[in-house]
Amino acid sequence: MKIIGTGSAHPKCAVTNEMLEKFLDTSDEWITERTGIKERCVISSEKLEDLAVRAANQALENAGMTAADIDFIICSNVVNEYVTPALSCIIQGKLGATCPTVDINAACAGFVFAMDIAEDKLKCKKAKNILIVCAEEPSRMVSWQNRSTCVLFGDGAGAAVVTEGDELKAIRLTTSSLTEVLYYQRALEPTPYIDKEENFEPLVMKGREVFKHAVTNSCRDIRKLLNETGLNANDIKYYVLHQANRRIIDSIRNFLGVDEEKVPHNVERYGNISSAALPALLDELNRGGKLQKGDKLVFSAFGAGFTTAACVIEWAK
């Protein structure tokens, strides 16, 4: 496969650390020092599907295509207002596309999981042009009374159009069931027959454990991919890493021994926007004129599950 178009969209409501200080026992100093985040955009009047459609339309335009050219849509999403239908069905209708669609949930690693599925579809000739849309509203999973979680997340969407090509050089996905470090359980409808104990609570996170898993696993994935492709760390133009925490990004960079300019970040402006982080950052690089044909890029992300996913691509545009 190759990526031929990117797009992104963020909600209009930017919440600064100072705004959080007004109702939480926190400070700009603490959040900046521990996470690097200065502000995040959160959904107010928008619908998540509308952000997704904005990002998708940008990606289509960037690819020189219309919705009619797309023959499969993969939407990566953890939570949205609908349990059913899938968000991808809503996005399909709003885009005016007619192809089949599917939602996936690989948490924050969803973009690379979607790339892997797209690659398989392209390889077996079941599709020619695939739209990947990552649309996420983690601000609706956290308790806004919990300073340990709500300061970390933002909402947003990122999209990419992929087509046949030889530019995906290597990819690696992992899942290791480790559900207690990061989870969110929401209430289902009661029935007259339920007599089991149920536990519904906003996002629960063991921050330090997640931090360690994130750094260890991301470094492991990247090293394996570099080894597999015969590339060394400095052959990579950019490491597009999951934007969860600036300290996680810096730790991965230090362990890999690569220069700061190779590891772009926007976590300071958007916080953690889950699986939308990678395509949104890629879109910034693309639109900022930072990418040239032939550049080697590493993507690496991790999330609840625990899932991890990484790949090496060559920029094709």
Mind telling me the catalytic residues? 108, 242, 272
| Residue 34 near ligand COA by CB under 6 A | yes
CA distance 89 to 286: 27
- Residue 301 CB, shortest distance to ligand COA, in Å, is 8
- Residue 124 CB, shortest distance to ligand COA, in Å, is 31
Phi/psi for 124 (5° steps) reads -95, 15
Phi/psi for 316 (5° steps) reads -105, -15
Q: Given the complex with ligand COA, which of 101 and 218 has the nearer CB atom?
A: 218
| Residue 202 near ligand COA by CB under 6 A | no
Interface with ligand COA by CB under 6 A: which range of 25-33, 52-60, 76-84, 88-96?
A: 25-33
In the block, tokens 């990819």 appear at 171
Residue-wise DSSP of the chain: -EEEEEEEE--SEEEEHHHHHTTSS--HHHHHHHH---EEEE-SS--HHHHHHHHHHHHHHHHT--GGG--EEEEE-S--S-SSS-HHHHHHHHHT--S-EEEE--GGGHHHHHHHHHHHHHHTTS-SEEEEEEEE-GGGTS-TT-HHHHTTB--EEEEEEEES-S-EEEEEEEE---GGGEEEE-PPPP-TT--S----EEEEE-HHHHHHHHHHHHHHHHHHHHHHHT--GGG-SEEEE--S-HHHHHHHHHHHT--GGGS---HHHH-B-GGGHHHHHHHHHHHTT---TT-EEEEEEEETTTEEEEEEEE---
246-256 and 28-35 helices cross at what angle (nearest 10)?
A: 30
- Residue 2 CB, shortest distance to ligand COA, in Å, is 27
| Residue 303 near ligand COA by CB under 6 A | yes
- Residue 171 CB, shortest distance to ligand COA, in Å, is 19
Q: Given the complex with ligand COA, which of 26 and 229 has the nearer CB atom?
A: 26
Residues 243-262 that bind ligand COA (CB under 6 A): 244-245
- Residue 304 CB, shortest distance to ligand COA, in Å, is 6
| Residue 183 near ligand COA by CB under 6 A | no
Q: Given the complex with ligand COA, which of 6 and 35 has the nearer CB atom?
A: 35
| Residue 22 near ligand COA by CB under 6 A | no
| Residue 108 near ligand COA by CB under 6 A | yes
48-87 mask for ligand COA (x: CB under 6 A)? Answer: ----------------------------------------
Residues 269-288 that bind ligand COA (CB under 6 A): 272
Q: Given the complex with ligand COA, which of 118 and 241 has the nearer CB atom?
A: 241
Interface with ligand COA by CB under 6 A: which range of 61-69, 114-122, 143-151, 287-295?
A: 143-151
| Residue 30 near ligand COA by CB under 6 A | yes
Query: Could you list the residues that contact ligand COA (CB under 6 A)?
Result: 26, 30-31, 34-35, 108, 147-148, 151, 205, 207-208, 210-211, 214, 244-245, 272, 303
